């Protein structure tokens, strides 16, 4: 009995596959055919109004200019006597601080001192590597604080955390 049900299901599935492949092949061949069907456009040329027909309307509002000028402060707008002589102001530009290249300082890692249980960081400055504790210098760079993930350094009067 099961063999009969399986045969019916098999025939049904074969028919479904034939239908699906028929639809696919129909769409492929239909898209490759070139037909000379004229394309009808529904775009009709609309008659546009000329710009001469638009009338400029007069304003329907009036400006009320009876308030005091906010830039004059307590003085009245008509009472102010302005000094119209040009004034020269000497502006001295602020001193230019060249940008600091922090990329030459690298934090490579840390070691725990077994005697004192303090962190000693491995720092590279311009390619020179050295183990530094808090307060030690390397080529003008002072290590202020050692942490496990970063160090606080001072260089050229600026402070910055350098991460690993």
**pLDDT (tens digit per residue) in 78-136:** 555 555 566 777 788 888 777 888 888 999 999 988 888 888 899 999 988 999 988 99
Half-sphere exposure of 92 (CA within 13 A, CB side): 2
| Residue-range definition of the domain harbouring residue 159 | 105-163
Domain assignment present for 26: yes
CA dist., res. 71 & res. 62, Å (int): 23
In a domain, 13, yes or no: yes
* Position 44 pLDDT exceeds 60: no
Number of domains, the chain: 2
| Domain presence at residue 75 | no
Q: Is the pTM above the cut of 0.75?
A: no
| 60 inside domain | no
Q: Is the pLDDT of residue 46 over 70?
A: no
């Amino acid at each position: 009995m099961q063999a009969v049900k399986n045969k019916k299901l098999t025939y049904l599935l074969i028919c479904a596959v034939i239908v699906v492949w028929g639809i696919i092949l129909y769409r492929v061949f239909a898209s490759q055919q070139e037909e000379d069907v004229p394309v009808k456009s529904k775009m009709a040329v609309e008659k546009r109004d000329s710009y001469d027909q638009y009338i400029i309307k007069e304003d329907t509002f009036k400006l009320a200019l009876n308030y005091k000028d906010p830039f004059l402060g307590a003085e009245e707008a008509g009472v102010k006597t302005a000094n119209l002589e040009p004034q020269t102001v000497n502006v001295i530009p602020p001193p230019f601080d060249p940008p600091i290249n922090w990329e030459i300082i690298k934090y490579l890692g840390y070691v725990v001192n077994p005697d004192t249980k303090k962190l000693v960081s491995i720092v590279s400055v311009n390619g020179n590597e050295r183990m530094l504790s808090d307060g030690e210098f390397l080529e003008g760079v002072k290590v202020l604080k050692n942490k496990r993930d970063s160090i606080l350094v001072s260089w050229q009067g600026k402070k910055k955390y350098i991460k690993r």
